[in-house]
Amino acid sequence: MRNVRVLLAWVLLVPFLLCRPAAGTTIDESNRYAWAASTGWINCRTDTTNGAVLGEFVCSGYLYCPSTGWIHLGDGNPTNGYQYTNTATNDYGVNHDGKGNLAGNAWCPSTGWILFEQDQGKPKVDLETGVFSGYAWGYSLGWISFSNSSGFCQTVAVEQQGSDTDGDDLSDMWELSITNDLTALGGTNELGQPAGTDFDGDGVVDSNEYLAGTNPLDSNDYLRVTDFQLTGGSNFNCTWSSDLSRMYRLERSDNLTNEPDWVDSGLGVEAPDTDTNTTRTLDGAGLSNAFFRVKAVFPLSE
């Protein structure tokens, strides 16, 4: 390894906002059950139309318990546009913080509210595997477990949410979650096309901050390689800024021509270490020149 270099770069996710499919359950056909000792198995995917949906902002759809009936996770249309407030009977449901944590209220007409909270039950989904864990609580049902030694509930996708009513190529749900309106981020140029506004001036346009899971209002928060250290022999450590809402792929090329031939570094898609940064060790044996870049990947999309 004579000349290993790092390219301080990030890569776009495939644009999806204007071509996403209609909502359907995201729950795996084989691994679809939660469990409550009081009532037995609870089906998180009764069928593709009514089954549970894990979205990047909110959940929707239904669980089905044979003894108590339907459990509604929310209608997918929170009043404020991005999160159920759970303060009104027409605005309830289970929210997702984008990092796997679930909180809010589901509704079972025959038994009442089912509570998802992060103090005791800590219901969550592993965004690398899609496997749920933790518990929800119902006053009549008791604890509902999403994973045990006999079965578990698993999602095969995180639904990318939010229509783009103002045509700025940004999910309205994301815009509302950041600024509570649709005008601060994005914007259009004089031709009516997306102008690529960079609100915080960190060099990354708002739409790419969304794709990378970074804060478009914080100029210190953008995806980048932060450290690169030879550690002995042919090994080296690469560290990049990371967010728990995204996965990452480290890519390598032996040149930086106009069309570099980027290939996976050998690590594949990696879950982040922390909400701040991620470090991986690679072996550069046999490489003469190598450039590296890190790519943000939407959970369960590759």
Would you tell me which residues interact with Ca ion (CB under 5 A)?
164, 166, 168, 170, 172, 198, 200, 202, 204, 214, 218, 221-222
CB of 86 to Ca ion, least distance (A): 25
CB of 200 to Ca ion, least distance (A): 4
Of 35 and 240, nearer to Ca ion (C-beta) is: 240
Structure tokens belonging to residue 221: 């928060």
**Alpha-carbon distances of 217 from 1, 2, 3, 87, 201, rounded to whole Å:** 40, 40, 37, 28, 9
Of 63 and 172, nearer to Ca ion (C-beta) is: 172
Q: What are the φ/ψ torsions at residue 289 (nearest 5 degrees)?
A: -130, 140
Label residues 212-244 b or e (16+ Cβ within 10 Å = b): bbbbbeeeebbbbbbeeeeeeeeebebbbbbbb
Query: Residue 54: which region, alpha, beta or left (left: phi > 0; alpha: psi -120 to 50)?
Result: beta
CB of 55 to Ca ion, least distance (A): 16
CB of 13 to Ca ion, least distance (A): 16
Of 55 and 130, nearer to Ca ion (C-beta) is: 55
Of 150 and 220, nearer to Ca ion (C-beta) is: 220
CB of 221 to Ca ion, least distance (A): 4
Of 111 and 245, nearer to Ca ion (C-beta) is: 245
Of 56 and 200, nearer to Ca ion (C-beta) is: 200
Q: Order of strands, edge to edge, in the sheet holding 225-232?
A: 225-232, 235-241, 277-283
Classify 174 as helix, strand or coil: helix
CB of 162 to Ca ion, least distance (A): 7
CA distance 179 to 181: 5
| CA-based nearest residue to 299, from 223, 246, 230 | 246
